[in-house]
Amino acid sequence: MSGDPRFSRFLKERIGLDVVSVGEAIIERAVRQRHTATQSEDCEQYWQRLLASADEQLALIEAVIVPETWFFRYPESFVTLGKLAVERLAQLMGARPLRILSLPCSTGEEPYSIAMALFDAGLEARQFQVDAVDISPLSIEKAGRALYGKNSFRGDRLSFRERYFSLEADGYQLDEKVCRPVTFQAGNVLDPDLLAAQPAYDFVFCRNLLIYFDVETQQRALQVLKRWTREEGVLFIGPAEGSLLVRLGMRSTGAAQSFAFSRHTEKVAEATVPFVARPALRPVMPLRVTPRPFASGPLPVVSRPVATPQSLPKDEQASTLLLEIAMLADQGSSAAARAAGERYLQLYEPVAQVFYWLGLLSDLGGQASEAQALYRKALYLEPQHPEALAQLAALLASQGDVAGARRLQARAARVPRDPDGRSKQGSHR
C-alpha cells in the first residue's frame, strides 16, 4: 500500500489536494487507517471498495482532514472586517444585508468569529448574513452544535467569550444571537455547482486553502473565489498566500496584518511557478503536527507567551525563545514577534529559522526588499531551508522573476524528507 499513487490521484481529483504540500506519509497514514477500519484484505480490495462507495470516499477524505482552528485567529482581519462592513452598509443605504462567505469553515470558529466581529462593530443581525462551507460533513455537524472546548480559545484576547458564550458542563455554548445569522453546508470549492444559485458576496474568507493545491488547481480555485466576490468586495486569505494572490491578479487593501485583498483592475500576467510552500509559521521544537489541508491551518497550540527562564541551559533558552516567536507570529502579534526575533539574534548564534520568520513578517508587511534580504540570509545559513525557498520563490514570481522563482522551487523539491514527510534539512524540523 505504501506509495500507491492511486490514492493521491483520487484525493487530487476529488478535493484538489497536492501531495507535495502535505507529504505522502499523511496520505499513506489515512489509507492505512481506512484499510484497517474496513477490514480489507489487501490494498486492491480497499481500492475497489473506495471506488464503489461514496461513504468510504468521504471517510478517506475525513481521515486526511484533521480540524485545527480557533476563534479570532488573525485578529486584525476581523477588526478590518468590522470597519469595512460599516462603510459598505453606508453605501448600500439599507438596500440589502451584507453577504459574507467563510470557506473552508472547519468546525465553525471562523464564521462565528465573523458574526461576533460584526456585532462588536455595531451591526444588527438583520444587517448581515454569513454562509459557511466545508468539505467535511463531520465538521459541519460540530459547527451546528456551537459547543466548544478550551482549545478553541487561544491567546490573551478572550473578552468575547464572556460576552457571547455560556459555560456549560461539557464546554462553552455559543449564544443563539451569534448562531442565527450563520448557515452551514457541506461543499467542495472545486464543485462547479457549489453556490451557483447564490449572488456574489461582499466579503469572502478563504484562508490556508490555496497553498495545498498545485498551480493549476490554485488558478481554478482563485477564479471561483473571484466569481463569488463582488467587484467591490474583499477576499481574506492566509498569511502564506499573499504572494500567490498578487501574482494571480489581486492586490492588498493595505490593512496591516489583515491579509485582505481586492481585485486588481489592471491585467496581470500570471506566473506559472507552482506555489508549494508549507504552512509558514511553525515552531522549531520537535512537536508532532498533523497537517489539516482544508481548515485554518495546521499550526500547533501554544496558548500563551512562553517565558525564557534564565535558569534553563542556554540551548534550552534559545529553543524556548524560538517557540515564543512562532506563537506570537501565529497569533498575529507581528511587532512582538519581530522584537522577539531581534532579541534572539542579540542573545544567541543566528539560525536560519529566525531570519525566515523575520522575512515572512516583512513580506506580510509589504516590505518586499527587506523580506528578500532576510530570506536570503536564512538560505545562506541553511541553503535547503524549504519554507525560505518557497516564500522567496513566490516573492520573486510576484516581482516578475519567473526564472529565479523556478530555480528556487526546483531546489525546494530536492529537499530530502523523512518517512513522515518532514524535511531532514536543518534544526527547524
Instruction: Give the pLDDT means over successive 10-residue stretches in the chain (429 positions).
Output: 78 79 78 90 90 87 78 91 96 95 95 98 97 92 95 90 96 97 93 91 90 80 90 85 67 76 55 38 31 37 40 72 79 81 87 87 78 85 84 76 76 58 44
| Measured distance CA(136)–CA(401) in Å, rounded | 38
- Phi/psi for 163 (5° steps) reads -85, -30
pLDDT score of 246: 67
- Phi/psi for 273 (5° steps) reads -90, 120
For the sheet with 171-174, list strands across it: 147-148, 171-174, 165-168
pLDDT score of 419: 43
By three-state DSSP, how is residue 289 classified? coil
Beta strand segments in 226-379, E: 229-236, 250-252, 260-263
Beta strand segments in 342-429, E: none
Please check whether residue 317 is in contact with residue 309, taking contact to mean a CB–CB distance below 8 angstroms. yes
pLDDT score of 331: 63
- Domains in the chain: ranges and CATH: 5-64 (no CATH), 75-263 (3.40.50.150)
pLDDT score of 309: 45
| Measured distance CA(302)–CA(323) in Å, rounded | 8
pLDDT score of 101: 98
- Phi/psi for 172 (5° steps) reads -100, 120
Question: What CA–CA distances, in Å, run from 265 to 50, 232, 268, 352?
Answer: 45, 11, 9, 38
> Given phi > 0 = left and psi -120 to 50 = alpha, else beta, which region is 146?
left
Residue whose cell numbers read 507529504? 23
- Residue 141: CB partners within 8 Å, gap ≥ 6? none
416, HSE (Cβ side, Cα atoms, 13 Å): 4
| Measured distance CA(22)–CA(303) in Å, rounded | 25
Please check whether residue 216 is in contact with residue 149, taking contact to mean a CB–CB distance below 8 angstroms. no
Please check whether residue 385 is in contact with residue 356, taking contact to mean a CB–CB distance below 8 angstroms. yes
Q: With 0-12 CB in 10 A as exposed, 13-18 as middle and 19+ as buried, what is 403?
A: exposed
